[in-house]
């Protein structure tokens, strides 16, 4: 399988080794609470396997959710991840994102 080339922007560039495991629970909590930037960053972590196992289905899910929240660069990354996925994986990711959006719309 090809590696995905998804930019982390300025994250992780300053020559400082960053511990990506520690912020994982907080980032996930923020993403689940509807914070678009956290959703996008969680997608990056899943896409790149940063501190968590690489999972293109979950990356696609969170990029899709972030895109629906207005994060423009999430569309590009979702589409990049999709090139590495099977049709059934894309369908699963879309279903997960739709379910997430439905559930969170009902709770607001």
User: Is the pLDDT at 25 greater than 70, yes or no?
Assistant: yes
Nearest 5°: phi and psi at 90? -65, -45
- What pLDDT, on the 0 to 100 scale, is given for residue 13? 38
Q: What's the mean per-residue pLDDT of the chain?
A: 84
Q: Is residue 67 part of a domain?
A: yes
Q: Does 17 fall in a domain?
A: no
Q: Domain for residue 88, yes or no?
A: yes
Does 10 reside within a domain?
no
The domain total for the chain is 1
Q: Mean of the pLDDT values across residues 58-72?
A: 97
* 38 located within any domain: yes
Residues for the chain: how many in total?
108
pTM (whole model) above 0.75:
yes
Domain extent at residue 57 = 24-106
DSSP H helices in the chain: 24-32, 36-48, 56-68, 72-82, 87-106
Flag whether 53 is in a domain: yes
Answer yes or no: is 16 within a domain. no
């Amino acid at each position: 399988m090809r590696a995905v080339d998804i930019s982390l922007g300025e994250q992780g560039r300053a020559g400082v080794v960053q511990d990506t495991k520690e912020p994982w629970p907080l980032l996930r909590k923020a993403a689940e609470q509807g914070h678009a930037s956290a959703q996008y960053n969680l997608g990056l972590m899943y896409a790149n396997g940063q501190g968590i196992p690489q999972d293109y289905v979950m990356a696609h899910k969170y990029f899709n959710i972030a895109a629906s929240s207005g994060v423009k660069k999430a569309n590009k990354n979702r589409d990049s991840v999709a090139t590495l996925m099977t049709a059934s994986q894309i369908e699963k990711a879309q279903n997960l994102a739709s379910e997430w959006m439905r559930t969170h719309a009902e709770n607001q």
